[in-house]
Structure 1
């Protein structure tokens, strides 16, 4: 059975790597063939050889995983937003599902559509912004309310960068098949309440708990943590606190998952069993074990509902229910069988779970626990068992953490030894008491304990050695490390156990290849409507701009640039060039400067202050050479100080290697182009051009096209951006010159390799296509 489940999971995983969904006719034929093969195999099971008794079930399980994931994808993708509806007003009626999220002067919420004047998906992710002209804030939006709204929608779209977060897959897993915003319209109004739909009632209860916590705790620093532990809403946790959790490896403690659900189930089951034993007459009718299991499952389900029944919570609840069902049936199943059944149940409910980091980490952690507790002559008990299990989990998850997050905490064992007992035995019980009983004292006590814990975690996280970071490792190194660690965790007496640890050394010592001397690799990151370009030579790293802000609490520096740099193995930036002060170029600069050491900063205009010796102005004529690659600033010159627009004073940089040159033109417009051309056109010709001002109509004059004559033009633009970039006239002008066009909104990050063989470009969405991209 375990063998078949693993192959079923492999089939599901393989399907999620496909670039497109096979035609429904093919999947129907496959389903019929699978059914026929299963029936034939069952009827002929006595005549099968021993080999085929293993091979046939494995092939059937693998095929079943592929087909199940395929049908689920087909059904979910069918609920799509037609392209003809994108960008036009649609009037819909429906209900607010889930907890609305306040973001500064806007609110975001999930909306379930009941009726609409056009074909739209059932579930939408919407934002309601303050009015740009009057500053009027959106009205209060509460869970369970029914609204009539005028919307502007678009199909699911996210950034596509190497090792980046796949927002489109996240939306698909949650059934959110379009995103959009509420338009200002007279018809927008609140309708009657949505009625007694059970889950809507749960969301209203969750919102009331959140409001009560906010009222009681006010601006308390740990209020977001307590709210997360109560109702699963992590959005009030400050970014600085998330950084502490990341550096100390305790992120899992503030995300309601297996630990919290199991804790509630254990307490409820233990209490129910204790009470049941007090009444001997009841024992004659129903065994204590069954009562305890029923109480545990009911309590865990209630807690999961209170947490919003999000995807991670669903996985934890499914695993618990499977284990409880096995115990309730009176069968003492091996732990590995229970884990396999839980894996099967999770993937049947959610075949996209294999795309989630939490899925791999949770099943890996449970597997490590089973490995540590099974096959021992002397059972581990007490604090020694807890310590050994925690150390084993910390060590065993290193390969997964490096693949998923390019780092792991070295202080995690100590941090978890402190935080797990406090969160599990003190903070969470106090928070749940505060939910059930309208008293303020438990909440204040939980806040004080959480504050004490955070003080210790902040001290640990501030150590220089707290976090190990490196580039995302290759598959071969990961596989070898996993095999070595699995061998290391086997029972004492297993041959060559200490030597198995050596298999981890290549993983930790691996560094990605860098360009050879005289060559460079430039990556135009997909940051939306903005710009961020990473340039790498043999031993140096340059970042040109840091992308735009994404609202009041996030920006491209934090969300895109830093994760990309970590995955690429960049430990330090030798130079950060902020071409000018516009938010779409410099909005993420603060996050970059806080998140990675930067040796020097070059700024293009006065809007980006240069206040110390490590910062200097960008001035035409400045040039330097790194590892045989030549860099030259072409604009602005001293005589360009009279240019009125900030865009026209932006820094223009040319990078030249043996195989070709790349020109990064920032946001210069026609006036700057004239000034640039007036100084001569000899040094402008380039193989690759990052289009001026994202392809705006105010740039890319015919004279500049003639002077640069690129073979490739790259447009760094946002999907369906409000400016219409790149403008059709500009696109046509560069194309007519013989240049091939690339754009980040439809092709993702663009990687330019310039070496002795010439210039090559590859797009991230074409390098790793997935069937949900563009759907």
Structure 2
């Protein structure tokens, strides 16, 4: 069974790497392969020979089971993907207003400008005699508009009639970045959009009378379904916790521990938690599910043995052990439902179900078998789980613990049994020995997890918390044994008891966070390294497994040498005489990284998305961390518009920056946060390893012209390597283009970053003729509200024979300057079937 499940998981993982789904011919061929392997397995089971053609019989069976499992997993994932993709928004209905009736299917997320929620569509209103073919689930945002009324209260399970404008799933596509389109596919959301119109008046006395000027209104306050009941319960608990802990800095952590909703945790706190390696605890993890369910099951078992202090003799009707098992599984199920069914919680629930079923039926089931059963069940229900780090970390951590503990418990017990005990130990001696064994076991487990997860963590994140063992040694018992149970109990208690329990729980979190802040501030808190190639990861994984092998295993010391390539891995850099440029896909904004053999410059920092997210934190920082880049020699912020400067503060807080060039006013927060700031001025020039950087605009006297818009002062930078060059003009418009041509500076370039995202106010014919680029980079957002690029401008580039690359279609674009000019588009080199391009 284990071989089949491992093959099933490998088949699913293989399908998720495909650029397209298998066709009918390939599917039939795979089915034929399953039939042949099944026939071979059946005939092999009848043979009594120990070997087949010199190959051990057990190995032949394992290989056949792997092939069968792989084929079934591949086809199962393809079938699930085909069903999800069939529920698609047609291109013809993008950007058009449609009216739908549906219920809110999740816990809405309120933010400063409105609210986000998922709508389960029940009915599509006929428009112009046509019923739009819409997906069954929509991700919507309802924004406030200037001068409009407040967005109404949108509660889980409420039923609404809304006019919405939709688009197909689309997200930023960057190396080492979060794949939003894959996440939407996993969630079954096949269209995103926003509610059209704002509320003109809200009657707080009755939500039924919440009606907007364009007809958006609530039909029912609550539609009763099992899913809506769970979401309403989660919303009720969140409201109670946030109200009780109003104004407390870590109320969001308590919410996350109770219902798994992490959206109220500040980004600064997440940085601290991740740097100290305790981020896995700030949610409903498998450890929390096990602890809480185990405590509840133990309590029920103890009370059941005493018949709840009645004379009903309950153990005679059902053994206390089975009652405890039922209580443990039931509590785990409830807790996992509150958690939103995350992968770590699912894994724990399924393992508890397997082990509970085995104990109930008096069968022996090993922990590895339970883990395999959980793996198969998770992937059966969610084939896209393999795409996320949490899946691999969750299962790998448990597998490492089982591997590191295999045989050691029996050895320790046999030593205790063989030890001479001439005098029966006292009560306190017994307790001290038990405590010593528990501490030693916990230390071994922490050591195994710390060392065993090192290669995988570096592969997934490009960094590792060196303080993780210390921080987890304190945080695991504090959160799992104290805070999480108090938070769960307190959240359901009536007032004023809820405050009496939640306030102490918050005080403990506050104390723990203060300790973690001090640890996080240490310069050696995090070891950052480039994401390793596959061979380095495999070597390091083999090395760590060898180091953790039991005593007596031969050549354990070789494991340290196998880990050396990972420890010595260094960031990749351009070869002498070459230059790399990465144009990130940041949506409607600009951000490009220029790399020479020894220096790096970032031109613009992407847009500001929300108080919790921007182009710097969402796109650029993950890329720099995965590459092992900890320092930028220069950052150029072309001008103050949010789509160019929105990510600057995040970068300045997280990466060492040598110098900042900008056209920003001196009172700007970015200027104040810069270690060394210098205004962009025409004539500035410097050189790194043969690569020349020339600032062409703005002129020094333009800073005195208060009537100029920020676009007019965009920093225009030309980067030249030998006879090749790229021109980065920011958001300059036609007057600035003419001004550049009038000064007589050399604007010729092989690559042009299209000015102002291809707006109608830039890219004049005279300017394009002077630049004469081979390639034009359009950095813009998918179906952006500015309608960039303008069709006339985009066609102008085409008529002039210029190759046009768009970030909304290509994703991140990588240019390699050297003997030639090589171009790579992320959505082509990393093609996946859900991109649909």
1:55 aligns with 2:87: no
Secondary structure of the residue aligned to 1:210 is helix
1:768 aligns with 2:804: no
Corresponding residue number in structure 2 for 1:91: 99
Corresponding residue number in structure 2 for 1:378: 411
1:412 aligns with 2:468: yes
Q: Which runs of 5+ in 1 are unaligned?
A: none
Aligned with 2:682 (options 620, 625, 634): 620
1:473 touches 1:507 (CA, 8 Å); kept in 2? Answer: yes
For 2:782 and 2:162, how far apart are their aligned partners in 1? 23
Aligned with 2:243 (options 210, 215, 228): 215
1:581 touches 1:607 (CA, 8 Å); kept in 2? Answer: no
Secondary structure of the residue aligned to 1:387 is helix
1:727 aligns with 2:790: yes
The alpha-carbon deviation at position 293 of structure 1 amounts to: 1.4
1:338 aligns with 2:370: yes
1:583 aligns with 2:596: no
Query: In terms of mean alpha carbon deviation, does 233-242 or 640-649 score higher?
Result: 640-649
The alpha-carbon deviation at position 415 of structure 1 amounts to: 0.5
Aligned 1:478-627 pairs, distance under 5 A: 478-606=537-665, 609=668, 610=671, 614-627=676-689
Aligned 1:16-415 pairs, distance under 5 A: 16-24=16-24, 26-27=26-27, 30-31=30-31, 34-35=34-35, 38=38, 41-42=41-42, 45-47=45-47, 49=52, 50=57, 52-117=60-125, 118-131=132-145, 133-184=146-197, 186-279=214-307, 281-376=313-408, 377-379=410-412, 381-415=437-471
Secondary structure of the residue aligned to 2:833 is coil
The alpha-carbon deviation at position 312 of structure 1 amounts to: 4.4
For 2:701 and 2:511, how far apart are their aligned partners in 1? 58
Corresponding residue number in structure 1 for 2:737: 673
The alpha-carbon deviation at position 520 of structure 1 amounts to: 1.1
Say what the alpha-carbon RMSD is for the aligned residues: 1.9
TM-score after normalising by structure 1: 0.96
Aligned 1:673-692 pairs, distance under 5 A: 673-680=737-744, 683-692=746-755
1:396 touches 1:482 (CA, 8 Å); kept in 2? Answer: yes
For 1:600 and 1:54, how far apart are their aligned partners in 2? 59
The alpha-carbon deviation at position 358 of structure 1 amounts to: 0.6
1:541 touches 1:570 (CA, 8 Å); kept in 2? Answer: no
Corresponding residue number in structure 2 for 1:704: 767
For 1:83 and 1:576, how far apart are their aligned partners in 2? 39
For 2:65 and 2:648, how far apart are their aligned partners in 1? 55
For 2:556 and 2:291, how far apart are their aligned partners in 1? 33
The alpha-carbon deviation at position 146 of structure 1 amounts to: 0.4
For 1:694 and 1:304, how far apart are their aligned partners in 2? 45
Query: In terms of mean alpha carbon deviation, does 501-510 or 664-673 score higher?
Result: 501-510
2:103 touches 2:223 (CA, 8 Å); kept in 1? Answer: no
The alpha-carbon deviation at position 723 of structure 1 amounts to: 1.2
The alpha-carbon deviation at position 418 of structure 1 amounts to: 0.6
The alpha-carbon deviation at position 97 of structure 1 amounts to: 1.1
For residues 27-50 of structure 1, the C-alpha deviation after alignment (integer angstroms, 9 at most, x for no partner) is 356446635753674367415943
For residues 474-522 of structure 1, the C-alpha deviation after alignment (integer angstroms, 9 at most, x for no partner) is 1111110000101111111212223312222210211132112332101
For 1:669 and 1:436, how far apart are their aligned partners in 2? 60
For 1:759 and 1:40, how far apart are their aligned partners in 2? 53
For residues 190-213 of structure 1, the C-alpha deviation after alignment (integer angstroms, 9 at most, x for no partner) is 012443212211211211111111
Query: In terms of mean alpha carbon deviation, does 227-236 or 373-382 score higher?
Result: 373-382
Q: Specify whether residues 706 and 671 from structure 1 end up closer, same or farther in structure 2 by C-alpha distance, changes over 3 A only.
A: same
Corresponding residue number in structure 1 for 2:486: 430
For 1:676 and 1:191, how far apart are their aligned partners in 2? 59
For residues 641-698 of structure 1, the C-alpha deviation after alignment (integer angstroms, 9 at most, x for no partner) is 54722212101111111351111111000000010000115x1111111111111111
**Higher CA-based Rg:** 2
TM-score after normalising by structure 2: 0.89
The alpha-carbon deviation at position 23 of structure 1 amounts to: 2.4
Secondary structure of the residue aligned to 2:834 is coil
Query: In terms of mean alpha carbon deviation, does 98-107 or 29-38 score higher?
Result: 29-38
User: Per chain length, whose mean CA-contact separation is higher, i.e. which structure has more relative contact order (CA < 8 Å, sep 6+)?
Assistant: 1
The alpha-carbon deviation at position 22 of structure 1 amounts to: 1.6
For residues 385-437 of structure 1, the C-alpha deviation after alignment (integer angstroms, 9 at most, x for no partner) is 00110121011111111111111111111111111111111111111111232
Query: In terms of mean alpha carbon deviation, does 41-50 or 573-582 score higher?
Result: 41-50
Secondary structure of the residue aligned to 1:147 is strand
2:686 touches 2:694 (CA, 8 Å); kept in 1? Answer: yes
Q: Specify whether residues 196 and 534 from structure 1 end up closer, same or farther in structure 2 by C-alpha distance, changes over 3 A only.
A: same
1:155 touches 1:774 (CA, 8 Å); kept in 2? Answer: no
Secondary structure of the residue aligned to 2:762 is coil
Corresponding residue number in structure 2 for 1:660: 724
For 2:239 and 2:675, how far apart are their aligned partners in 1? 49
